Structure 1
Amino acid sequence: MSELRDREPHASALPGARVSHRDIRAIRGPLLTVGGVEGVGWDESVEVETPDGLRHGLVLDVDSDQATVQVFEGTEGLTSGAIDVRFDGRPLHIEVGTGWLGRVCNGRGAPLDGGPPITGDRLAPVAGWPLNPVEREPPHEPVLTGVSVIDALTTLVRGQKLPIFSVAGLPHLALATQIAAQATSAGSSFMVVFAAMGLPHADIAYVRDRLEARTASGELVLLLNAADDPAIERILTPRLALTVAEHLAFEQGADVLVIMSDMTSYAEAVREVSAARREIPARRGYPGYLYSDLAGLYERCGRVRGRDGSVTVVPVLTMPAGDITHPVPDLTGYITEGQVVLSPEIASRGVYPPVDTLSSLSRLMRLGAGKDHTRDDHLDVSAQVLAALAHARQSAALAELVGASALGETDRAYLTYRDTVEQRLLHQGQGETRTLDDTLDRAWAALGVLPRQELTMVSPEMIARRLPGEDAGVRDG
């Protein structure tokens, strides 16, 4: 793996003598301040022995002879005289390998399925290492989700990071689990890692039930952080997921899809730790390093030259009050390569998934769709569907002013087209998987309600091939 990374773990990551300390100088929120330390470094793994059992943590800061330790399980019930802190002498590591497949664990990687602790081929640092930019390869093969609106209009590409932006009350979790259950790739093997953060127990039960078949087949890893679990654990959950995915991808040769929901809950945990450290807040109370923190997660995806595997990331986040300028979606949009935006207005019309197609895009779609990738008409028909939807939106706005009956024939055709495309192409069942051919044929059928002269973004040859018959002649007139 040395050619994949900018650097290898420092020698201090090797197991060594473990030093114990009982000089606890402060307990604040999820943080412990330990005094009298020497030779301790940032991100070093920590074990906290308490009367109630073992807790785990990481070193966040070192100042003189004091170390600030973040405790994943929280510090509730701890008193300074009954704590024994042991520093491991290396960053937090987990065992990685195929033993994770088919397992259901909590946000720290402890089994929830009644099975034994997970063992693997080797130890890997949870913090990970950034991919060497020189060794990166541009994504160029599609990941088909079986969801028409994504496959047709915002195609996901192997190695891409494509977030889903939503608001509370919309079915973003249903869409995320549907993608996890249905997604496929043309590679030799395809795996999914699903990391849930801050979910209510009812939602966790839904996720486990919805993904049970793929989990049982050994193609999926579930990491579940519940809403009543320590918030600080959410900082660890996505890092565990990505560490497991990197091993499966770059050492086992699998195409791995990582779905992380909800990144807003993750960011709130980062803000909580920042407040406990008494750092100066930036926008809306989030720390100034939130951008680099999110980038450290999202940028762990990609493809590597000379390797068959890939890591594709789909973060899911809820926008407070639907505000797309909120720091979490705003920064996520800077880092990632597009977005899928869910709309309350479209949901109110009974469309699932309620994707606002005109606010959504996949910046890498042209690298993974079209001839030699999906179908030769894919990019053209996608552009035509979106252009027609933009015109239909204008026609709908005009109809609200003057009434639908006062519209011209062409504008009325666009209103019919909008209803047709929403009901025949965009709307589908939560358990329905569609092939790409079926999806694109549905797109052509929706375009068929428009006058022929309106189809300016597809060639006459494509029109003749995809819209043959007497109906086409009527549309010409």
Structure 2
Amino acid sequence: MTGWVEYTEVRELRGPLLVVTGVGGVGWDESVTVRLGAGGTRHGVVLEVAGDLAVVQIMEGTDGMRPDDTTVRFAGRPMTVPVGDGWLGRVCTGRGEPADGGPPVTGAREVPVAGAPMNPTRREPPSDPVPTGVSVIDAMTTLVRGQKLPIFSVPGLPHLELATQIAAQATAGGEPFCVVFAGLGLSHADAHAVRAALDKRTAAGELTLLLNTADDPAVERVLTPRIALTVAEDLGYRAGRHVLVVLCDMTSYAEALREVSAARGEIPARRAYPGYLYSDLASLYERCGRLRGRPGSVTLLPVLTMPAGDITHPVPDLTGYITEGQIVLSAETPGYPPIDPLSSLSRLMRHGVGPGRTRADHLDLAGQLLAALARVRQVRELAEIVGESALGEADHRYLDFATAFRTGLAGQGSTDDRALDDTLDRAWQVLGRLPRAELTLLPDSALDAHGIG
């Protein structure tokens, strides 16, 4: 089927669903335009086809629509969006319509939002760092170009604030760089805060902002990350930019997917999520990476909240199987950002740090910081049993180190953008609180150079 085909036999309007009868050649996930007799246009996607019936979910809802005064047009193809540099510097709704008062975004070509599979033989291993300006991330869980590294949080922690800070501060070391930020299920207050915090980067033409709010239809929330990734793929693989895609909050996305699945009448699986939740998340997360022969890259930073802090919840659990590490926020970590370094991991960090990329001492410093923090945890557990006064001198030094780590390295303001060299220098100052004999992961030459005796 090619071109638009119109039908006027609308049998039923129910909530966000529209049922059309007498159709033929209509496919699942097909793009739909609905024209109202009183004027106006709405958009939707086909949820289900059975015989000559098609169930369409309307993005804007069916309020004010009448079955006898509605024309449904089927596009004969999945939803597409125009791609190109015109997305940079724009603020749009979750379905890609302008929210900044500007004209509609146009491009030289239209691309399906579902994307195209990346040929695995053309994938290049992720390499080179993406400095975020957040010390505890850059020093210990470095984000690497082409990596997918999620942020796990619990409700009430400043995960959106951290995601926004990273989107505002991240760079590519002087190479062409931009950010695509997709807010999913945000409150209007949060959407306004994100827009204000990223205004400088938007004005510089380095950001595409897609904002889906909690009162927008669920089907729009399912499409928003796909639109964001489609835009990012073009900016990265065609235009040669290094693109950071931030998706926040993927738990809201999964809940919208569950709602759409229920509307389709599908049999629910674990915790009422659809049985294909894993493959659906993978279809998003695997769209990042680097392609052989292309100068750009797409790096993915999905943010998700764990209901009741349960890391075994389906969304974080399945995300952990697909992605390459995690940054974990903990309510037990004081200050901002509340990142728990011992629970966090970047599996590809070793490919993005070291001589020629960051500094020769970077990987050794990260290992020593983690080893020292693990010892701090043991010392605190011991102090709860015997009392802090019964601890030895070395143990007290570790407690001093923990305080210095939190105040001098890990703690920083939400607008504090730290250069990587500053971060690593702070790491040396913090480690200097420990006896030299405890710094077994650092070479003697480096200890001597930094005056640690």
Normalised-by-shorter TM-score class: over 0.9
1:347-386 alignment to 2 at 5 Å? 349=334, 351-386=335-370
Q: Does 1:462 align with 2:446?
A: yes
Indicate conservation of the 8 Å contact 2:48/2:264, yes or no. Answer: no
2:9 to 14, 23, 35: 23
Distance 2:54 2:120 in 1: 33
Q: What SS does the corresponding residue of 2:332 show, helix, strand or coil? A: helix
Indicate conservation of the 8 Å contact 1:146/1:434, yes or no. Answer: yes
Aligned to 2:93: 106
Aligned to 2:413: 429
Deviation, structure 1 residue 187? 5.8
- Write the deviation string for residues 422-451 of structure 1: whole angstroms up to 9, x where unpaired: 111100111111111110111111111111
Aligned to 2:138: 151
Deviation, structure 1 residue 231? 2.6
Distance 1:377 1:416 in 2: 23
Aligned to 1:202: 189
Q: Does 1:133 align with 2:117?
A: no
Cα RMSD over matched residues? 1.3
Distance 2:66 2:384 in 1: 65
Aligned to 2:288: 301
Q: What SS does the corresponding residue of 1:340 show, helix, strand or coil? A: strand
Q: After TM superposition, where is structure 1 displaced by more than 6 Å over at least 4 residues in a row? A: none
Distance 1:165 1:125 in 2: 30
Q: What SS does the corresponding residue of 2:218 show, helix, strand or coil? A: coil
Aligned to 1:270: 257
How many correspondences in the alignment? 452
1:287-298 alignment to 2 at 5 Å? 287-298=274-285
Aligned to 2:247: 260
Letter matched to residue 19 of structure 2: T
Q: What SS does the corresponding residue of 1:393 show, helix, strand or coil? A: helix
Indicate conservation of the 8 Å contact 1:187/1:255, yes or no. Answer: no
Distance 1:47 1:18 in 2: 9
1:34 to 5, 20, 42: 20
Letter matched to residue 33 of structure 2: E
Aligned to 1:401: 385
- Normalised by the length of structure 1, the TM-score is 0.92
Distance 2:422 2:213 in 1: 37
Distance 2:118 2:174 in 1: 21
2:109 to 110, 122, 137: 122
Aligned to 1:192: 179
Deviation, structure 1 residue 17? 3.3
Deviation, structure 1 residue 52? 6.1
Distance 1:194 1:171 in 2: 17
Letter matched to residue 453 of structure 1: A
Q: Does 1:442 align with 2:426?
A: yes
Q: Which ranges of structure 1 fall in alignment gaps of 5 or more residues?
A: 1-11
Deviates more, 1:205-214 or 1:18-27: 18-27
Indicate conservation of the 8 Å contact 2:171/2:177, yes or no. Answer: yes
Distance 2:128 2:140 in 1: 15
1:46 to 32, 55, 78: 32
Deviates more, 1:275-284 or 1:153-162: 275-284
Deviation, structure 1 residue 370? 1.3
- Write the deviation string for residues 176-230 of structure 1: whole angstroms up to 9, x where unpaired: 0110000001363000000001111111111111100000000001101112222
Q: What SS does the corresponding residue of 1:88 show, helix, strand or coil? A: strand
Q: What SS does the corresponding residue of 2:86 show, helix, strand or coil? A: helix
Distance 1:400 1:46 in 2: 63
Indicate conservation of the 8 Å contact 1:96/1:124, yes or no. Answer: yes
Distance 1:52 1:228 in 2: 24
- Write the deviation string for residues 159-181 of structure 1: whole angstroms up to 9, x where unpaired: 10101111111111110011000
Shift in CA distance, 40/187, structure 1 to aligned 2, threshold 3 Å: farther
Letter matched to residue 336 of structure 2: Y
Q: What SS does the corresponding residue of 2:110 show, helix, strand or coil? A: strand
Distance 2:417 2:176 in 1: 19
Indicate conservation of the 8 Å contact 2:168/2:197, yes or no. Answer: yes
- Write the deviation string for residues 298-326 of structure 1: whole angstroms up to 9, x where unpaired: 11100000000100010011111111111
Residue identity over aligned pairs, in percent, reads 65
Indicate conservation of the 8 Å contact 2:218/2:260, yes or no. Answer: no
Distance 1:28 1:269 in 2: 18
Q: What SS does the corresponding residue of 1:308 show, helix, strand or coil? A: coil
